[in-house]
Amino acid sequence: MTVAPPAPAPARRHRPPDPRAHLSHRLAERGIDRTLWLLLPGVVFLVALFIYPLAYGLGLSFQPLKSTDPLYNYKQFFTDHLQRDTIGTTLRISLPAALVNVIASVPIAYRMRGRMRGKRFITTMLVIPITLGTVLTADGMLKFFDPAGGWFNKTLFALHIRTPDQPVLLINNYWGVVISLIISGFPFAFLLILSYLSGIDPSLDAAASTLGASPRRRFWQITFPLLAPGLAITFCLTFVLAFSVFPSAYLVGNPTSTTRVISIAAYEARSVETNDSKASTIALIMAVIELLVISVVLFGRGRLYRGSTGGKG
Amino acid sequence: MSDRRFDHLRLEQVRRRFGDKVVLDDLNLQIAGGEFVALLGPSGCGKSTALNCLAGLLPLSGGSIWLDQRRVDTQPPEKRGFGMVFQNYALFPHMSVRRNVGFGLAMRGTGRQETRRRVDEALRLVQLTPYADRLPGQLSGGQQQRVAIARAIVIEPPLVLMDEPLSNLDAALRLDMRTEIRRLHQSLGLTTIYVTHDQEEALSLADRLVVLREGVVQQVGTPEELYRSPVNPYVASFMGYRNLLPMTVTGRNGDEATVHGFGIELTGMARGRFDTGPATVAVRPEDFVVGVEPANPQNHIRIAVEVVEYHGREQAIQARLPEGEVLRLRSSNRVSRGDTVSAWVRHDHVLVFGEQLDGPPVEVAAGPSAGVAANDSAPSTAGAPS
Ligand SMILES: Nc1ncnc2c1ncn2[C@@H]1O[C@H](COP(=O)(O)OP(=O)(O)OP(=O)(O)O)[C@@H](O)[C@H]1O
Ligand SMILES: [Mg+2]
C-alpha cells in the first residue's frame, strides 16, 4: 500500500472569481429588485379591501341559515330556475353592451387618434356621461323615451314613422337597460381605446402606406393587431361594469322578469330575505362568472402580440 | 401602381409650412430616372419633411410634384408606389422580419414562391438571413435599420426615399451598406433620394447633391462641382471647408481677391460679385502645407500650435493666428504643441465669399464661377416672401 502524497492545500487567500453574476443581478433578472416596494400600497389595499372581504364572504356562503349542508345555498341557487336564470339574463344584457361599447369606440377613436381640430371638444362631449351617473341617465331616459310624451316617440309620430298607439318601447324593458349601459360604459371604452391608439406609432401606418397598403388593409393588418390586446382589456372592464348593473336594471328595466339580473337576486337575498349567507353565495357566483368571461378573453389576448407598439405610449 | 421607370421626377415650387414656420421653401428640383440624389443639410433643415412630402405622407402647402406627365402630389402614398426607409425604421413590431420585408409584396399580390425568393434575396443583401424569424423588437438598432432598407427595396420601386438609412451602423458596416446601396441602385436602376447630414456619405454615393438650409436649396450639383466650387460659405462648410474666417477684402483682381484680418493677408479665388468689404474666407484643413518655407511669400502665414491630435499618418492641428482666430490644419509633417510654425496654402485653395456665414439663408448672386452649379433646376430666389 502506498500512501498518496498529500494534495497541496488550495491557496485560500485569493477567492477565485465567481463566474456567476452578482446576486443582485441574478435577482434582477428574475424581476426582484427594489422597485418591488412600489407594489406595497397596492398589496395593502388588495388584502384589506379584496382578500379579506372575499374570504369572509366565502366563509359566510358555506354557513346557510336553513340547513346544515354547507353547499345548500349553492344547490339552492342552481335548482331554483328563478335564481339560475338571472345568470343568463345578466349575460344577455352585459355582453352585448360591452361589445357595442368597444366596437363603437374603435372607429371614433381611430378617426381622432392624430391631431385634429376640435378634438378636445368632442372628447369632452363623449365623456360627459361619466359625470352624470346611472341614476341621472336613467331619469333622462325615462323622460326622453317615454312612450306617450317623450321627445323620441313624439318625433317618430310627427315623422309618421309610428302611430301613437304603437310607440317604440325603449324603457322598462331589456332595451332600456342595454341603452343605459351603453351610455354609461361608452366613455370608459372610448377613452381607453383612444389612449391605446395614440400609443401606436403613426409612422407604422405611414410605412404601410408607402408599401402600397390601402387604408382598409392598414387598419386590419397594422393598427388592429396592435390594438387588439387593448380592446380585450377594454372589453373586460366594460363587461365588469355592465355585469354588476343594478340601478339601471331597476330604473329603466323590467326588474321582475326580463331584466332580473343577478345583482337584483343578491340584493333581494340580503335586503328582503335578510339572508346574508345566501346573498354571499350569489355574490360569489357572480364573481366566478365574471372571472370565467375575463379568463376566456384574456386567454385569447395571450395569443396576440403584446410587445411595444413603438408609440409615445 | 406606377411603372418601373420614368424619365423625370419634377418638384415645382414645393412648399411646406408648419403653422407659420416655412420648413420647405419653393423647392424646385428635377431628377432624372435612375439618378442618385443626396439631400444634405444639418439637423432640422427640412430633409425629412421633403421626403415625407415626396412620399405623400405630408400634404403640400403649395407647389406640385410630377412624374413625367403624371401629377403625383395629389395621389395618396399607396398609389405612388415609392419605397421609403424611415428615419425611425417604422418596422411593424408584430410581424417577423420576414413578414416585414414581404409586406409590400403581399400588398401587391405577389405569389408565395416569388415572395419567398425575393424576400430571401433581400435579406441576404442586408446580411440578415439568420434573423428572418425574429420580431423587430429582438434586433439591434443597426439590424432594424437594415430590415427597413430590405423592406423598401424588395418591392423594387421606381423611386426609393431613404432617410438617413445608415445613421445607426458601425463604421465598417456603414461602408459595406453604402457599397450595397450603391450597387442596388445601379443593378435595379432604382432612382434614389438619399437624406444624410454626412458629407462623405453624400459625396461618395450620389450623382448629384442638394444642399438645404432651413428649407431653402443652397446649391445643386455633382459632388465634384460642390466639392470644388461651393457657392456660399454654408455649402463650403459642408464640403470640408472647416476654416471659415470673417475677413476684409482689400483688393480684387479679376477672379482673385486679397483679404486681410487676424494679422494675416491671403489671396484667394473670389466667389461672387464684390470689390471690397467684409467677406468669409474658406480653407480646408488639408490644403495647408505646414512647416515648409515656400519660395513665394504669398499666402504664407505663421501660426502657434495649440492642440495636436494623432490621426495615424497625419496630424490634426488646431493653431492660432497672430491675432486670435483659431485655424484648423492637417499635416503629415510632425509639429508639437507650443511650436510656432509656418503654413502655406495655394491661392486657388482659398475661397473668398462676399457674404457672412451667419447671414440669412439665401442663394448667392451668380458670381463669375457660379456657372459650375448649372443644372436644370432653377435655383430658388433669395428670401422669397411667403
Ligand atoms: N409636425 C411638425 N410640426 C411643427 N414643426 C415641425 C413638424 N415636423 C417638423 N417640424 C419642423 O420642421 C423642421 C424640419 O424638420 P425635419 O424633420 O424635416 O428636419 P430634418 O432635416 O429631417 O432633421 P434631422 O436631420 O434631425 O432628421 C424642424 O425645424 C422641425 O422642428
Ligand atoms: Mg430627419
CA–CA gap between residue A89 and residue B257 (Å, rounded):
95
pLDDT at B374: 35
In a domain, A236, yes or no: yes
Nearest chain B residue to A308, by CA? B93
User: What is each CA distance from B153 to A186, A263, B104, in whole angstroms?
Assistant: 44, 60, 10
Q: Could you report the per-residue pLDDT of A40-69, keeping only the tens digit for each?
A: 999 999 998 889 989 999 999 999 988 889
Query: What CA–CA distance (Å, rounded) separates B34 from B207?
Result: 10
Say whether residue B53 is in contact with chain A using an 8 A CB cutoff.
Answer: no
Residue nearest (by alpha carbon) to ligand 1 atom 19: B44
Which of B362, B367, B363, B359 lies closest to B256, judged by CA?
B367
d(CA B178, CA B88): 18
Torsion of CA A291, A297, A300, A304, to 10 degrees: -120
Q: Whole domain around residue A222: which residue ranges?
A: 92-276+293-313
B282 backbone dihedrals φ, ψ, rounded to 5°:
-115, 130
Residue A60 lies in a domain: no
C-beta atoms of B90 and A222 within 8 A: no
Q: Which of residues 142-201 of A touch B (CB under 8 A)?
A: 201
- Residue B24 and residue B91: Cα distance in Å, rounded? 27
> Which residue ranges in chain B fall short of pLDDT 50?
1-3, 360-386
Q: Residue written as cell 480646408?
A: B284
| H runs (alpha helix) in chain A | 23-29, 40-46, 52-61, 72-79, 81-111, 119-132, 134-144, 151-158, 174-198, 202-210, 215-218, 224-243, 247-251, 262-271, 276-302
Give pLDDT, residue B144: 92
Which residue owns the Cα nearest ligand 1 atom 31?
A: B44
Q: What confidence tens digit (pLDDT) does each residue in A211-251 have?
A: 999 999 999 999 999 999 999 999 999 999 899 888 888 88
Is B55–A226 a contact, with Cβ atoms under 8 angstroms apart?
no
- A3 located within any domain: no
Cα distance between residue A286 and residue A264, in whole Å = 11
Among all ligands shown, which has an atom nearest to the Cα of B211?
1
Which of B2, B58, B78, B84 to mutate: most A Cβ within 10 Å?
Answer: B78
The answer to whether residue A180 is domain-embedded is yes
CB pairs A-B closer than 8 Å = 75
Interface subset of B 157-176, CB within 8 angstroms of A: 161
Helix (H, G, I), strand (E, B) or coil at B158: coil
In this prediction, the residues of chain A whose per-residue pLDDT falls under 50 are: 1, 312-313
Can you give the pTM of this predicted structure? 0.80
Looking at residue A1, its pLDDT comes to 45
Q: Looking at the complex, does the CB of residue B241 fall below 8 Å from at least one CB of chain A?
A: no
Structural domains counted in chain A: 1
Residue A123, domain member (yes or no): yes
- Domain harbouring A264, CATH code: 1.10.3720.10
The shortest C-alpha distance from A208 to chain B (Å) reads 8
Cross-chain Cβ contact A211/B103 below 8 Å: yes
Residue A115 in any domain: the answer is yes
Ligand 1 binding pocket (C-beta < 6 A) is B 18, 23, 41, 43-49, 87, 197
Return the number of other C-beta atoms located less than 10 Å from residue A179's C-beta: 21
Q: Residue A165: left (phi > 0), alpha (psi -120 to 50), or beta?
A: alpha
What pLDDT shows up at residue A14?
A: 65
Q: Which ligand is nearest to the CA of B39?
A: 1
Interface pTM, i.e. ipTM: 0.80
Nearest to B107 among A213, A225, A226 (CB): A213
A63 found inside a domain: no
For residue A193, being part of any structural domain is answered with: yes
Cross-chain residue pair A210–B78, CB shorter than 8 Å: yes
- Residue that the C-alpha cell 414656420 belongs to: B21
Q: Which of residues 269-288 of B touch A (CB under 8 A)?
A: none
**Are the Cβ atoms of B94 and A305 closer than 8 angstroms?**
yes
| Partner-chain residue, chosen from B57, B93, B151, that has the shortest CB–CB distance to A206 | B57
